[in-house]
Structure 1
Amino acid sequence: MDVSRYLDLFLEESMEHLQTLNLGLLSLEKDSNRLDLLDEIFRAAHTLKGMSATMGYDPVAQLTHKMESLLEKIKERKILLNQEIVNTLFQCVDALEKMLLMIREGETPELDLKNLLKKLNNLEKSQVIKEVEQERNKQKSPPKFQQEELESGFNEYEINVIHEALSKGFNVWKIMISLSPDCLMKSVRAFMVFRNLESLGEIIKAVPPVQDIEDEKFDREFTLFLVSKEESTEIEQALNISEIAIKSMEKVKVKKSKGSVPHKPIKTKNKTQFASGKKHQVYQTVRVDIGRLDKLMNLVGELVINKTRLEQIYLSNDWRGLHETIEQINHITTDLQMVVQNVRMVSIEQVFNRFPRMVRDLTKELGKEVDLILEGKDTELDRTVIDEIGDPLVHLIRNAIDHGLEPPKEREVSHKSPTGMLKLSAKHEGNQVSICVEDDGRGLDVEAIRCKVLENKIVTKSQLETMDEQAIVNLIFESGFSTAKVVTNVSGRGVGLDVVKNKIVALNGQVSVETKKGQGTRFLIKLPLTLAIIQALLVKVQEEIFAIPLVNIDETTDLEPKKIKNIQGQPTMVLRGKVLPLVYIKKILEVPGDKEAEELNVVVVQKGKQKIGLVVEDLIGQQEIVISSLGKLLSGLPGIVGASILGDGTVALILDIGTLFWEGISCGESIYSF
C-alpha cells in the first residue's frame, strides 16, 4: 500500500485542524470567555497531536502536546488568557504549518522549537493563579522517570504522554499483533487494526513505524501502544478481524525514580523519512458525499446494461433498438458528466478560511482596523480551480489593506468609521462563479495611474489621450505597475496585480475592477465552474480548427473586408455605432495559409467592460468539448490554453482569450474607447 495516499489524507486533515486553530484563536482573542471555542481549539490540538504521533512526526506531536497542556489549564481556569498567550499560540500554529509544508515536500520536519517550547513552559508556569499554584505545591510532585526508560523504546515525549495518561486514569496497552501466514495484503489488515483501535483511544507508538507497516516492510508481527479507558475485553472485540491474532496484550508500567530526566532533543530524521529516501508523490484527494458516489455507481450500472444491449443488437441487426440504445447512452453520459463534475466540486470555504488570520496579522503590522466580511463560503468550485485561486485572492486582499484602506485617523478626517470594511464574497452565476473583493477605502487615484504608466512607459502619451477613465484604471494589471510611495513588506514592489490577471486568465477566467475615489474599490473575478469540460464555439482559420470558450463570447457577426478601417494602425469595425478593435487570429497565432475569404466572421469577446472582435474565416458551431493539456513540448504556446479531440478525431486548439485580448489590443496604436 502506497504511504503517499495516507500522507495526503494526513496533510489535508492537519491543514483543516490548523484552520480550526486559527479561526478559533481569532474569535477567542475577541471574546476570552467563550468556553465552546476553547473546547474546539483543544480538540483540534489534541487530534493533530494524535495523528502526527501515529505517523511518526514527533516534533509536530511534541509542539501540539505542549499547546494542549496550556489550553487545558486555560479551560480549567488555572490560567488566565491574555494577549501574550494568544500571540504565542499563533506562533505555534505558524510553526506547525511550516512543518506540515516540509512534510508535503518530502522533507523531515526539523524546526528549532527550543525557544517556542520554552515560552510555552514559562507561560504554563508563570501565568498560573497564585492560589492554585500554592495548592498544587502542597500536592505530591509528579513521578520522575529513569533515564533508562528513554533508551528502552520510548522517547521523552512518549514518556510524558504515558505519565499524563496514567495520572488521568487511562490504561496504556502494549498490543502485539500477528498476521496469519496466508495473509496476502498485510497493509490492508494493518489498516483495519489501526482504524478499529483508534475508535477506542489514541495510538501513541508503532513498532515498526507506521510508514514501514503501510509499505509492508515487516514480517508478520507489529506492536502498537494504545492509550484508552477501555479494558482488554473491548480491545479484543475490536481486533476480531479475519487473519489477525493478538499475540500478547499487557498494560505498560513506567518505573519511577528520584532523579530527573535531563532534556534530550528528539531525533526524528530516520523515523520520518520514507524508506526509499526519495520524495513521494502526494496525491490530490477530494472528499465526496456518499450520495454522489451512489449515483455515480448507478449510472455506471446503466452503462453496463446498455453495453450488453449493444452486443445483442449487433448479433440480431435490430436497428430500431440501436437508435433507442444510443439515445439512452447519450442521456446516461450527460448525467455521468454532471455527477463526475459534482464529485470534483469543493467548497470555497477552505480558501476563505485562510484570510481572517492573514488580515489580523496585516492590520496589526500596518496599524489599521479592518472588519473582514466573508459571504458565500459554501459556494462550490472545481478542485483544480480551488487549488489555484488562493494566491490571486491573497494579492488582492493584501493590496486592499495596504493601499486601499486608510489608517483610522485618515478615515475619521474623511468622516468614515475608523474601522475599514473588506468584503470577500462568492456566488454562482450560471456556469460561472463570481468572486468579489471589495473595500470602502480611498479608491484608486486615476491621476496617479496616468503619471505612473507614462513614467514606466507602459503606454505612450498618444495612447493615453485616447483612453477613457475605465481603460486607464485597467492598466493597473500591467506588469511592473505600482503607485506605492513606500515599499513595504506587504506590497509595493511592482509584483501583484499582473500576477493576479495572468493566473486568472490561465484559469479561463476574467478579472475586472471598479473604483470610486474616496469610496472604495471592487475587484470582480469570474471563473468557470470546471476546467475539465466546457461549452465552446468551433471556428475555422485557414484549414485549422480552434475552439473559443462560450463563456467569453458576447456575440458573433459577419464582416465584409472592405468595411475594416485602420485607426492609428489598429484594424477596427463599427458595431452598432461603436468602434470595435479587431484581432486577426491568423496573424497572432501565425497560422499558415494564404486563403482569402470574401466574407469574414467576427467573434466578439468581452473582458470586463471591454470588447474586441476575433476575425475568423468560418463558424462551425457550438459544441461541448473535453479539455486536454498540451504536454510539455507545446505548453508554452502563446494564445493557446489547451486542446480537445473532436468526434471525428480532429484536434481543436482552445484559444486563451485573456492572452489574445491583451496581445491584440497592444498591436499598433491601441484603441481603448470601446
Structure 2
Amino acid sequence: MYIDDEELRELYKTSSSEHISKLESELMILEKNPQDSSAMEEFLREAHTLKGDSRMLGLNDIEMLVHQLEDCVEGIKAGKGELTAELCDRLYQGIDAINQLSHEAITGESVEINATDVLAALMGSSNISESGNDSGLDLFDDDDDSDFFSSDRDSQSSLFDDDDDDSDFFSSDRDSQSSLFDDDEQDEQKQDIAQTKPSSNTVSIENSNQPIKVATPARDYKIDTIRVEPQKLDILMTQASELAVTKLRISQQMTEIDRMLALFESWNKYDYSDDDLFAEVESSLTAEEIQPLRYFYNHARQYLNSFSDLANNLKTRASEDVASLSIISDRLETGIQGLRQLPLSTVFNIYPRMVRDLARQQGKEIEFIIEGGDTKADKRILEEIKDPLLHLIRNAVDHGIETPEERIIHGKPPTATIILRGYQTGSSIGIELIDDGRGLDLASIRNTALRRNVRTSAQLAAMSESEIQSLIFASGFSTRTEVTELSGRGVGLDVVRANVEKLKGSIQVISNPGNGCKFQVRLNTSLATTKVLIVDLNRTRYALPLEFIQTMITLPQTEIYKLEDKPTITFEDLPISLTWLASLLQIPTPENYTQGKNNLLCIILQIDDERFGVIVDDLVDQQDIVIKPQSKLLKRIPNIAGATILGSGEVCMILNPPDLLHSLRSGNWRTVVRQTESESTKNKLLLVEDSIIIRTQMQRLLKGAGYDVIVAENGLIGLQKVQEHEFDIVLSDVEMPQMSGLEMTANIRQQSQYDRLPIVLITTLASPEDKRRGKEAGANAYLTKGDFDQQLLFQTLGTLINS
C-alpha cells in the first residue's frame, strides 16, 4: 500500500498527519468530557475528511479503519453507547494503527499491521451489538464525498447539490453510485470480520485486560514542512501588491522632480553676464547702489546652482530607489504567488476513478487521458474550478459518450476517449475537456430555447452556430427530458459558466455533431493582480483587462453605420457591433456628447470568438493593478469585476468585458443625459463608510440611482455632516473607527430636530442581538451584508424618504 504519485504522496503526508493529530487531541477532550458536542463534531469532521482522502488514493485499509472510528463515535452521539475508558483505549490504539498504515503509504516501509484484525477488535469494543446492524447503526456508511481539499465535514457537498443537473458523484447520499461494496455484502463482510480473532502481529487492542500500550513520540521526529493558511498568504499578497502602488506613486513624484528641474533649466538658460544684466540700470543708480544688487545676484545664482545639484542628486537616488523597490516588490510578489501555486494535476488526478466508476455504471467504455497536469495555477483557482470541471466531465460521460453498441453502429471504436488538458498561454491558463462522443444537437438546443423562452424564433434565426451552441450555458437550460441520477434537473452548465466568470475567466464550447465536443476554459494564473488599460469616461477612470483587448483604433465618425438599427463598424472585413462605453455603463453624460469630434477612440474587445467595439473619451495608461476584493454590498453590480487604487490614490473600477458583451446583447443599456441642477430635484443622502473602496462604489451606485450623495469616513465625521447640512436620509456602516454607526445614530437621536431623519444601518453584524442594538440606537432599518440585495436597499430608502 504505497502512493505512487509523488505530489499526491506529499499532500497526503501533510494532511494525514494533521488529521490524525487532530483525531487524537479531540478524543482526549472527549475522554475528559464525553458530552462535549463541539469536540465530537470536530472528531467526526476530521475522520470524514481523512476517510475521503484515503479513499481517493486507494488506501482501503485506512479508509476502513477510519470509517469504523466514525461509526463508534456516531454511536455515542446517537446515544447507543457510552464513551468508556476501555473504548477510548481501543480508539487510541486504532488511531495508532491508522498512523502506522499512513506511514507505510507515504514511505513504502512495511508495517506489521493487520487492518482486518484491528477492525474486528474495534467493532467488538464499540458497545454495539454483535449483530452489527441490529444496533441501528450502519457500520458501512457508503459516504462518498471525498473532497481532497476540504476539512469541514459539513461542507463536503459539491457546489452542485443533489437538486442540480447531474447529481454529484461525490454525493454523501447513502445510495451513492460509487459504493465500494454492495450494502448487503458490506454487512455480511463486517459481521464475518467481527468474529475473527486478531493475529499476533497486530496492534494489540483485544480487550481491556491487556496492558495499555503507551504512545511515545518518534526519536527522529522533525518538522520538515510548514502549513500556512491561505488567508495569511492572501494578506501577504495584498501587502506585497501594495508595493506596486507605492512604486507608482514614487514614480509620479519623480515626474514632479523632472518638472521642477525643467523649470530651473528654462530660467537658467538666460545666463546674462553681469555687465549685460546691469547695463540698463547703471544710468539711474550709483555704484554704491548697484554693488548690493550684484552681491545679491551672485549669491542667488550660487544658491540656485546648489539647489540644482541637490535636485539632480535627489532624482538620481530616487531613480535608484524606484529600481530597487521594483525588483524587491516583483520578487516578493512572484515568490508569494509561487507559494500559492500548485499544478493542475492536483485537481486533475481526482477524476480518473470517477470516470471509471461512472463508465462501469452506465455500461460504457471510456479511456480518460490527462495532459498538461504540470501547468500551475493559484490554489484558490484550483479549488474553485474543481467542481465546474467535475460537472463538465460527468456531463460528457452522461450526455456525450455513447454506449459501445451505438459507437460501433456509427463507425466509431467501442472505447470512447475523454481528454482533460491543461496549458499556459502568457499570464493565462487554458483547460480543455474534449470527448469524441455524439456532440451537441443544434436542433434540440433551438427547440429547448424556444420551449423555455430562452430566445425567440427571430433571435434564433439571427444567431450563428457558435452562439446557438453557447445557449447550453443559459440559466435553466437542459435538453434532457428525463431526470437521471446524473443529470436532467435543468440546473448545471449555467452554474459552471457563472463560477468560471467569478474567477474572471471565460468558457466556450465547440462541437462537431456526431464527432464530439470541446469545452475551453481560460483563467488567469493569479487572482490578485492583472494587467489593465486605464481609460477615461466623462472625467472618471475605469480599467479594462488587457487580456480581452484585441486592439485600439482611431475611428472616424463617418465609418459608423447602422445594421439592424444598431451602430456598427467594419473591422478586418467583418461587421462588429459598436457602442459608447459611457452609455453601456449608464454614466450620465452631457448633451451632444460626441458633437464636434471627428475621430473617436475605439477599443476592440474580444470575448472568445465574438468581438465588439467600445468608444472611450481617452486612453490614460497601461498598468499592473492590485484587484481589491469586491464588497458583498456591490457584488451584483453588472459590468463591474472589482476595484483598485491607482498610484494617484484614486479609486478605479475594473470593468468586466463578458458582462459588457451580455449588456450589449440584451440591450440593457441606454444613453443617460446629465441633467442641470435646475432640472432635477434629488434627495440628499449622507453615506457614512470607512472603506474607501466601498464608499466610492456605493457613492457611484447611489448617484446613478438619482441621489445627491455626501460622504463621511466615520461616525464622528458623519455626525458633524448631519449638523452642517440638511439630509433626507442617512445610510451608514456600523463598525468604523473613532465613532461607530451605532454611536453616531444614538447621538443623532439625542437631538430632537433629527427625530424624523431616517437612518439605515447596513453591516455584516447579523445576529438578533446586533439588530436589537441597532433598533435601540434609533435606526429605522437594519440591513445585513450577508444576504444583501441592492433592490431591497433602494426600496428601503424610497419607503423611508416618502413615509
TM-score range normalised by the length of the shorter chain = 0.5 to 0.7
1:22 aligns with 2:56: yes
CA distance in 2, matches of 1:475, 1:90: 43
Alpha-carbon offset, residue 406 of structure 1: 0.8
For the structure 1 residues 500 and 583, does the alpha-carbon distance in structure 2 shift closer, same or farther, using more than 3 Å as the test? farther
CA distance in 2, matches of 1:60, 1:450: 61
Alpha-carbon offset, residue 93 of structure 1: 5.9
* Residue in structure 2 matching 1:504, options 500, 504, 527: 500
CA distance in 1, matches of 2:487, 2:523: 25
For the structure 1 residues 66 and 413, does the alpha-carbon distance in structure 2 shift closer, same or farther, using more than 3 Å as the test? farther
Pairing 1:639-658 to 2, within 5 Å after superposition: 639-658=639-658
1:627–1:644 CA contact under 8 A, matched in 2: yes
Say which is worse superposed, 474-483 or 431-440, in terms of deviation: 474-483
More relative contact order in 1 or in 2 (CA 8 Å, sep 6+)? 1
- Secondary structure at 2:632 match in 1: coil
- Secondary structure at 2:405 match in 1: helix
* Residue in structure 1 matching 2:326, options 325, 330, 339: 330
- Secondary structure at 2:453 match in 1: coil
* Partner of residue 189, structure 2: 123
- Secondary structure at 1:486 match in 2: coil
- Secondary structure at 1:499 match in 2: helix
For the structure 1 residues 173 and 361, does the alpha-carbon distance in structure 2 shift closer, same or farther, using more than 3 Å as the test? same
* Partner of residue 687, structure 2: none
Counterpart residue identity of residue 487, structure 1: V
Instruction: String of CA shifts for 1:67-95, please: whole Å, max 9, x gaps.
Output: 9899946899x9xxxxxxxxx99965627
Instruction: String of CA shifts for 1:270-295, please: whole Å, max 9, x gaps.
Output: xxxxxxxxxxxx9547999xxx99xx
* Partner of residue 610, structure 2: 610
For the structure 1 residues 142 and 487, does the alpha-carbon distance in structure 2 shift closer, same or farther, using more than 3 Å as the test? closer
Counterpart residue identity of residue 632, structure 2: K
1:600–1:618 CA contact under 8 A, matched in 2: no
Counterpart residue identity of residue 214, structure 2: W
* Partner of residue 685, structure 2: none
Counterpart residue identity of residue 205, structure 2: H
* Partner of residue 398, structure 1: 394
* Partner of residue 353, structure 1: 349
Matched residues, percent identical? 30
* Partner of residue 128, structure 2: none
CA distance in 2, matches of 1:14, 1:510: 34
1:94 aligns with 2:135: no
CA distance in 2, matches of 1:98, 1:386: 12
1:371–1:419 CA contact under 8 A, matched in 2: yes
Pairing 1:345-384 to 2, within 5 Å after superposition: 345-384=341-380
For the structure 1 residues 544 and 165, does the alpha-carbon distance in structure 2 shift closer, same or farther, using more than 3 Å as the test? farther
- Secondary structure at 1:644 match in 2: strand
Counterpart residue identity of residue 432, structure 1: S
CA distance in 1, matches of 2:47, 2:421: 25
CA distance in 1, matches of 2:319, 2:399: 63
Alpha-carbon offset, residue 569 of structure 1: 3.2
* Partner of residue 31, structure 2: none
For the structure 1 residues 287 and 329, does the alpha-carbon distance in structure 2 shift closer, same or farther, using more than 3 Å as the test? closer
Instruction: String of CA shifts for 1:269-322, please: whole Å, max 9, x gaps.
Output: xxxxxxxxxxxxx9547999xxx99xx9xx9xxx9xx9xxxxxx9999755333
Alpha-carbon offset, residue 41 of structure 1: 4.6
For the structure 1 residues 332 and 8, does the alpha-carbon distance in structure 2 shift closer, same or farther, using more than 3 Å as the test? farther
Pairing 1:288-367 to 2, within 5 Å after superposition: 319-367=315-363
Alpha-carbon offset, residue 663 of structure 1: 1.9
* Partner of residue 173, structure 1: 214
* Partner of residue 562, structure 2: 566
* Partner of residue 29, structure 1: none
For the structure 1 residues 567 and 124, does the alpha-carbon distance in structure 2 shift closer, same or farther, using more than 3 Å as the test? same
* Residue in structure 1 matching 2:479, options 478, 483, 490: 483
- Secondary structure at 1:163 match in 2: coil
1:165–1:171 CA contact under 8 A, matched in 2: no
Instruction: String of CA shifts for 1:601-643, please: whole Å, max 9, x gaps.
Output: 2221212211111222211121110000232222221110100
For the structure 1 residues 73 and 428, does the alpha-carbon distance in structure 2 shift closer, same or farther, using more than 3 Å as the test? same
Counterpart residue identity of residue 611, structure 1: R
CA distance in 1, matches of 2:94, 2:173: 12
Alpha-carbon offset, residue 434 of structure 1: 0.6
CA distance in 2, matches of 1:624, 1:542: 23
Counterpart residue identity of residue 144, structure 2: D
* Partner of residue 600, structure 2: 600
Instruction: String of CA shifts for 1:91-118, please: whole Å, max 9, x gaps.
Output: 65627779976545599xx9999x9999
Aligned residue pair count: 492
Instruction: String of CA shifts for 1:4-61, please: whole Å, max 9, x gaps.
Output: x97899689985773452242xxxxxxxxxxxxxxx554677799999999x999999
CA distance in 2, matches of 1:372, 1:75: 37
1:163 aligns with 2:205: yes
Unaligned runs of 5+ in 1: 25-39, 79-87, 144-159, 175-196, 201-233, 240-281, 307-312, 670-674
Counterpart residue identity of residue 581, structure 1: S
Pairing 1:126-137 to 2, within 5 Å after superposition: 126=192
For the structure 1 residues 623 and 124, does the alpha-carbon distance in structure 2 shift closer, same or farther, using more than 3 Å as the test? same
Alpha-carbon offset, residue 530 of structure 1: 0.5
CA distance in 1, matches of 2:312, 2:71: 62
* Partner of residue 634, structure 1: 634
CA distance in 2, matches of 1:562, 1:99: 57
Counterpart residue identity of residue 645, structure 1: I
For the structure 1 residues 361 and 338, does the alpha-carbon distance in structure 2 shift closer, same or farther, using more than 3 Å as the test? same
1:370–1:422 CA contact under 8 A, matched in 2: yes
CA distance in 2, matches of 1:393, 1:100: 17
* Partner of residue 457, structure 2: 461
CA distance in 1, matches of 2:384, 2:517: 23
CA distance in 1, matches of 2:568, 2:358: 46
Pairing 1:268-307 to 2, within 5 Å after superposition: 284=230
Counterpart residue identity of residue 514, structure 1: I
More strand by share: 1
- Secondary structure at 1:633 match in 2: helix
For the structure 1 residues 654 and 402, does the alpha-carbon distance in structure 2 shift closer, same or farther, using more than 3 Å as the test? same
2:52–2:145 CA contact under 8 A, matched in 1: no
Alpha-carbon offset, residue 370 of structure 1: 2.1
Counterpart residue identity of residue 614, structure 2: L
Instruction: String of CA shifts for 1:117-143, please: whole Å, max 9, x gaps.
Output: 996574156489xxxx9xx8xxxx679
1:453–1:481 CA contact under 8 A, matched in 2: yes
CA distance in 1, matches of 2:312, 2:46: 53
Structure of higher CA gyration radius: 2
Instruction: String of CA shifts for 1:330-387, please: whole Å, max 9, x gaps.
Output: 2221222211221221222232233233323433443323222222222211122112
2:344–2:373 CA contact under 8 A, matched in 1: yes
- Secondary structure at 1:173 match in 2: coil
CA distance in 1, matches of 2:203, 2:112: 14
Unaligned runs of 5+ in 2: 1-16, 23-44, 78-87, 102-110, 121-137, 158-171, 176-180, 223-227, 251-308, 670-803
- Secondary structure at 1:524 match in 2: strand
For the structure 1 residues 90 and 48, does the alpha-carbon distance in structure 2 shift closer, same or farther, using more than 3 Å as the test? closer
Say which is worse superposed, 595-604 or 510-519, in terms of deviation: 595-604
2:65–2:94 CA contact under 8 A, matched in 1: no
- Secondary structure at 1:665 match in 2: helix
* Partner of residue 585, structure 1: 581
1:48–1:64 CA contact under 8 A, matched in 2: no
RMSD: 5.2
Counterpart residue identity of residue 546, structure 2: L
1:663 aligns with 2:663: yes
CA distance in 1, matches of 2:657, 2:445: 25
State the TM-score, normalized to the length of structure 1: 0.62
* Partner of residue 410, structure 1: 406
Pairing 1:25-40 to 2, within 5 Å after superposition: none
1:363–1:370 CA contact under 8 A, matched in 2: yes
CA distance in 1, matches of 2:600, 2:401: 49
CA distance in 1, matches of 2:213, 2:636: 58
CA distance in 2, matches of 1:124, 1:162: 20
State the TM-score, normalized to the length of structure 2: 0.52
